[in-house]
């Protein structure tokens, strides 16, 4: 039986991917600064936050098997900001800042489910993921000696997601769910340029991949109330 559904959900998002830094490949001067420990090779690697949004989809149930498609759009505030202060012999004291943000998140997924007992549905899901991401970086020192610069990059990224969940029908046309998703939106890269030298830059990049656990409430209309 065909079933169209709406869902509201909220949850928690976390990731363990740090913003990585590498030096200027033209002169190698900035890589030497990183190798000496005056600049961190990575930072801002413990991002976390919340997601909330809505989902729309459709299911088709054949006995205990449920086939479905669904799309969702989420507000997100997954973020981490870290500033590292270093002082190494022969180098000035550097202040290095990195911040990564996942500002919005959405998916378009297929779903395959099974009802071991009524009214419980177990399912796996996956396919397209997308999101608005941002990476910011700044490097300063008291005299702006050796290197200093700042930049920020925002981009719409596309990738993939896979996960699974459990849904429980607690009333006619109503159900509650808990769901886990792993997502990978690819890598966002940028260059922190020193405006005093065209050849001086620090390359910064972060992989936007992480985990979402969320709970939601579904309302279904059309079809038999006993179906998912």
Other C-beta atoms lying within 10 Å of the C-beta of residue 91: 18
pLDDT for the residue 204: 94
pLDDT for the residue 27: 67
pLDDT for the residue 50: 96
pLDDT for the residue 33: 74
pLDDT for the residue 94: 85
pLDDT for the residue 1: 47
- For tokens 């990564």, what's the residue? 100
Biggest CA pair distance of the chain:
75
CB 9 within 8 A of CB 214: yes
Kindly list the domain boundaries of the chain, sorted by start residue.
Answer: 2-221
CB 168 within 8 A of CB 177: yes
Q: How far apart are alpha carbons 165 and 184 in whole angstroms?
A: 18
Q: Which region, left, alpha or beta, applies to residue 185 given φ > 0 means left and ψ of -120 to 50 means alpha? A: alpha
Instruction: Report the candidate in 137, 90, 131, 133 with the shortest Cα–Cα distance to residue 107.
Output: 131
Query: Which CATH number does 2-221 carry?
Result: 2.40.160.20
Other C-beta atoms lying within 10 Å of the C-beta of residue 43: 23
pLDDT for the residue 2: 54
Q: CB-based burial of residue 67 (10 Å sphere; 0-12 exposed, 13-18 middle, 19+ buried)?
A: middle
pLDDT for the residue 228: 65
Output the six-digit token pair for 154: 């925002």
pLDDT for the residue 87: 78
Mean pLDDT in runs of 10 for the chain (228 residues)? 79 94 74 80 93 93 93 96 84 87 97 94 98 95 80 97 96 93 97 80 93 94 61
pTM, to two decimals: 0.90
Buried/exposed 143-167: b ≥16 CB within 10 Å, e otherwise: eeebbbbebeeeeebebbbebbbeb
CB 142 within 8 A of CB 148: no
């Amino acid at each position: 039986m065909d079933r169209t559904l709406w869902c509201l959900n909220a949850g928690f998002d976390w990731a363990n991917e740090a913003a990585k830094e590498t030096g200027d490949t033209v002169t190698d001067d900035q890589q030497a600064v990183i190798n000496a420990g005056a600049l961190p090779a990575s930072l801002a690697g413990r991002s976390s936050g919340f997601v909330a949004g809505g989902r729309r989809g459709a299911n088709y149930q054949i006995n205990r098997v449920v086939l479905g498609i669904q799309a969702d759009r989420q507000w997100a505030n997954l973020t981490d900001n870290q500033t590292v202060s270093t002082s190494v012999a022969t180098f000035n004291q550097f202040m290095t800042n990195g911040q990564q943000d996942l500002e919005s998140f959405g998916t378009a997924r297929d779903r395959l489910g099974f009802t071991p007992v009524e009214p419980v549905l177990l399912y796996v899901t996956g396919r397209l993921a997308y999101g608005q991401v941002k990476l910011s970086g700044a490097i300063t020192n008291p005299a702006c000696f050796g290197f200093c610069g700042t930049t920020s990059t925002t981009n719409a990224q596309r990738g993939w997601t896979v996960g699974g969940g459990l849904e429980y029908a607690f009333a006619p046309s109503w159900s509650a769910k808990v769901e886990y998703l792993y997502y990978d939106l690819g890598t966002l890269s940028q260059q922190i340029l020193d405006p005093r030298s065209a050849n001086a830059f620090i390359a910064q990049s972060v992989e936007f991949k992480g985990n979402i656990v969320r709970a939601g409430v579904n309302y279904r209309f059309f079809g038999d109330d006993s179906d998912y």
